[in-house]
Structure 1
Amino acid sequence: MTDQARRVQRTYLLLTLLSTLAASFIWGINTLFLLDAGLSNTEAFAANAFFTAGQVLFEVPTGVVADSWGRRTSYLLGTATLLVSTLLYLAMWQARAPMWGWAIASILLGLGFTFFSGATEAWLVDALTFSGAKDTLEAVLARGQIVAGAAMLAGSVAGGVVAQLTDLGMPYVLRSVLLGVTLVVAFLSMKDLGFTPERGNGPLERMRVVVRGSLEHGLQNPPARWLMLAAPFTMGVAMFAFYAFQPYLLQLYGDERAFWIAGLAAAIIAGCEMVAGLIAPYVRRLFSRRTHAQLVATAIGIGSLALSGWTTSFWVAIAALVVWALSQAASRPMRQAYLNGVIPSGQRATVLSFDNLMGSAGGVVVQPALGRVADVGGYASAYVVGAAIQAASLPFLVFARRENAPADHIKN
């Protein structure tokens, strides 16, 4: 690896560390935070759905920003937007705001994350290629996953402990401070390499061109299409499952004020991210095709979610959480490598954003629906229904395998 490629990788890992640590301060207690603000389960997951609706609305426009004005510009805008919207969330909690206020704040949070999605990964791929990196993309993404897992582990545990010692608002204060640090670091260290923004056309014309490109290289591109169509089912359920584990584990544990348990749930997922990153090279050797890994991971996830709903044991639920998180995280680098392998560089940020849009679209529908199931029949029923919804993604993964794309084949 060249010196320039090492600098690119170090920048990517540092920004991954800072942004994930900032975000994860609230991941262990976010649902509890919303419930403490006076929302019901349905309203809390509706707020999360508005967050994902914001992602759906802004994925393509922010992809245009990344492809037209640069990946660095998009990252800086995303960090600044997240900082402002996090402070707004804190103000909403203090004021015990009505549901419409949470909807607006959540949409702004979604906007912030769309500036990241697609742009960060596109920046990494283009900069590594330009710098003459010899490592495989999967290897660098796996290192990023390890760093993200470590940051999530530290942040989620710290957020839970801080909430236990102070109140549920303090983790949001810590998140805001670290987002400010991330903004400064990104401004100083991030440079677009191997990519020249296209600014010749007006914004509307550029949006039309980019949308057409995202469709051509996304939904109209069969190898990418089937993975994208599977995303609403897998990502929609994953969003609910992650946030619902906070109150569900507290319920199984028997103490609904033990906020450290909620932090523990997020920490377990973070630990699984780290382990998955470490074992990714070995998991890769178990499969000849990346779609095989997706099929196996999805099937394991379905079983784990169902077990989470059927059990009444806190420790069995913890074990099911570990298996679910580990299976999903271990296959993620291979999914990313597959998708990057079937789309061209010029449309990479937008197509990756469009892929995130598809997953977010599932979250808009699935999260409030499963939140309603939780209100009516309890969290256990919601997890069983979630397992059934995720099962609907399996046929699309089979179709992706049948395309026999070159990027599907793993060369060990």
Structure 2
Amino acid sequence: MNPAALKIQRIYLTLTLGNTLAASFIWGINTLFLLDAGLSNLEAFAANAFFTAGMVLFEVPTGVIADGWGRRVSFLLGTVTLAASTYLYYLLWQLSAPFWAWAVVSVLLGLGFTFFSGAVEAWLVDALHFSGFDGALEAVFGRAQMVAGVAMLVGSTAGGVIAQATDLGVPFLLRVGVLLAMFGVAFWLMHDVGFTPERSPHPLEATRAVLSASIDNGLKNPPVRYIMLAAPFSAGVGIYVFYALQPYLLELFGDPHAYSVAGLAAGIVAGAQVVGGWLAPMVRRLVRKRTTVLVVSSSMGALILVALGITGVFWVALLLLVLWALVSAAGTPVRQAYLNDMIASKQRATVLSFDSLVGSSGGIVVQPLMGRTADVYGYPLSLAISGVIELFAVPFLLASRRRRSPADTATTDTATTDTATTDTATTDTGPSA
């Protein structure tokens, strides 16, 4: 890797480290925090669903900001918005606020994250192209996932321990502080490279143009479309399972106030992400097609969730949690590389944000549905059903595979405007799986 590309990668890893650390302070105790505020399981996961609804609602408008005003501007707005909405969450907990207030602030949290989704990844890939990087994207995304895993391990474990030593609100205040620090870091280090923003004086027209570009370069591109259509099942299930494991493990452990156990669970997921990020490039070298990795990862993850819902032994559940997280983590960098290799630079942030929008839409449905299932039938059955839901992603992954995109077998960063345009123009003859 040349010095210019190495510098870009270091900045990206720094941003990933800080953002993940800030976010993860609450990941181990978020569900417990909502339940402690007086919400039921249905209301707690409905609040999470409003968060994902906020992501769906604002993905396209913030995509306009990322592509029209710059990825750096989008990142800075994200840190400020997320810090402010996180502090409002803390205030709601102190006031034992009604559910409608949690719903409103959850939407604002979703807004904060949409400033990051797509923009940072697009910034990285475009800057790497500009710097002459010719390596495999899986390697870069794998390193980023390892860094994110370490940050998550530290943040989520610390969040659980700190919550047990103080109260459930302190990790939220820590998140606010780190986010404000990241604003300063990004302001200093992050600059748009290899990308020139095209600012529009007409925001509504720009939003329509971005949405149109998302459809043309995303849903109308067959191999990209099928990857996106798989996302609601895998992403929706992933969000629910991660947060449902907190009270479920405490239930198996037998102590509802052992918040450090919930933090440990999130830490285990983080550790698995580190290993998964390390394994991804090696797995990719052993497997010819990227979609093979995605299909195996999704299928195995679904089966593990069914097994997780059947067991009633704490330590067995922890082991299954490790396997589930590891399988999911190994597939994530491969999916990122596959998708980026099918997208042109000009629409990169737009299409990636649209992909996030489609994935988040699954969370809107899955979280309250499974939350209600947990209320009525318990967490084990809700986890087992989640595994069945994830299996619905597999046919779409196979359909993408059968489109035979060059990105499926690419071993270096080959995404160019010409390649993405060719893929977009492919005539759709319908699903072949």
Q: Does 1:57 align with 2:57?
A: yes
Which residue does 2:41 correspond to in 1?
41
Residue 280 of structure 1 and its aligned partner are, at CA, apart by 1.6
Question: Could you tell which deviates more after superposition, 132-141 or 28-37?
Answer: 132-141
Q: Which residue of 1 aligns with 2:78?
A: 78
Partner of 2:378: 378
Higher mean C-alpha deviation, range 369-378 or range 276-285: 276-285
The SS at the match of 1:218 is helix
Shift of 1:320: 1.0
Residue 428 of structure 2: aligned partner = none
**1:196 alignment partner AA:** T
1:273-352 equivalences under 5 Å are: 273-352=273-352
2:245 corresponds to 1:228 = no
Does the 8 Å CA contact 2:60/2:350 hold for their aligned counterparts? Answer: yes
Does 2:20 correspond to 1:20?
A: yes
The CA deviation string for residues 351-398 of structure 1, in whole angstroms up to 9 with x for no partner, is 000000011000000000000000000000101111111111111111
Decide whether the 8 Å contact of 1:153 with 1:267 is kept in 2.
yes
TM-score normalized by the length of structure 1: 0.99
Amino acid at match of 1:329: A
Shift of the alpha carbon at 1:343?
1.2
- The answer to whether 1:111 aligns with 2:111 is yes
> 2:427 — aligned with what?
none
Residue pair 2:79, 2:182 contacting (<8 A) in 1 also: yes
For residue 39 of structure 2, give the secondary structure of its aligned residue in structure 1: coil
Alpha-carbon distance in 2 for matches of 1:411, 1:360: 29
- Contiguous gaps of at least 5 residues in structure 1: none
Aligned twin of 2:205: 205
Matched, 1:6 2:6: yes
Alignment check: 8 A CA contact 2:127 2:192 kept: yes
Matches within 5 A, 1:126-145: 126-145=126-145
Provide the residue aligned with 2:269 in structure 1: 269
* Distance apart, 1:209 and its partner CA: 1.4
Q: Distance in 1 between matches of 2:202 and 2:410?
A: 41
Aligned-partner Cα distance in 1 for 2:402–2:11: 37
TM-score, with structure 2 as normaliser: 0.94
Runs of 4+ in 1 over 3 A off after TM superposition: none
* Percent identical residues: 60
Structure 2: how far apart are the matches of 1:28 and 1:281?
28
By how many angstroms is 1:341 displaced? 1.0
Match of 2:219, SS?
Answer: coil
Contact 1:287 1:410 in 2 (8 A): no
Name the CA distance, whole Å, in 2 between partners of 1:176 and 1:216.
38
Q: Distance in 1 between matches of 2:133 and 2:292?
A: 27
Partners in 1 of 2:152 and 2:206 — Cα distance?
36
Q: Residue 217 of structure 1 aligns with which residue?
A: 217
SS in 1 for 2:256: coil
Unaligned runs of 5+ in 2: 413-433
Do the aligned partners of 2:136 and 2:411 also contact (CA within 8 Å) in 1? no
Check the 8 A contact 1:79/1:112 in 2, yes or no.
yes
Q: State the AA in 2 paired with 1:195.
A: F
What code does the residue aligned with 1:321 have?
L
Q: Which moved more, 1:256-265 or 1:128-137?
A: 128-137
Kindly state the Cα deviation for residue 299 of structure 1 after the two structures are TM-superposed: 0.7
The residue number in structure 2 matching 1:392 is 392
1:169-206 CA-partner distances (Å, limit 9, x unpaired): 01011111111110110011100000011124521221
Alpha-carbon distance in 2 for matches of 1:152, 1:311: 26
3-state DSSP of counterpart to 1:116: coil
Aligned counterparts of 2:397 and 2:9: Cα–Cα separation in 1:
31
Q: Work out the CA distance in 2 between the residues paired with 1:121 and 1:266.
A: 24
Cα distance in structure 2, aligned partners of 1:394 and 1:280: 19
CA distance, structure 1, for counterparts of residue 294 and residue 140 of structure 2: 19
- Please report how far the alpha carbon of residue 286 of structure 1 lies from its aligned counterpart in structure 2 after TM superposition: 2.7
- Taking the aligned partners of 1:356 and 1:411, their CA distance within structure 2 comes to 24
Q: Matches of 1:251 and 1:396 in 2, distance apart?
A: 35
* Greater Cα offset, 126-135 or 183-192: 126-135
Residue aligning to 2:93: 93
CA deviation string 1:234-254 (max 9, x = no partner): 100100000000000000011
In the alignment, which residue of structure 2 is the partner of 1:68?
Answer: 68
Q: How far apart in 2 are the matches of 1:74 and 1:200?
A: 15
2: CA distance, partners of 1:133 / 1:219 = 28
For 2:409, the aligned partner's letter is H
| Structure 1 residue 411, shift from structure 2 partner | 3.3
Specify the alignment match of 2:158 in structure 1: 158
Residue of structure 1 equivalent to 2:195: 195
Number of corresponding residues: 412
Structure-2 separation of matches of 1:3 and 1:344: 25
The aligned amino acid for 2:387 is A
CA shift digits 1:218-270 (9 cap, x unpaired): 11110100010000011001000000000000000111111010001100000
> How far 1:410 moved relative to its partner?
4.1
Query: What corresponds to 1:408 in structure 2?
Result: 408
- Aligned residue in 2 for 1:240: 240
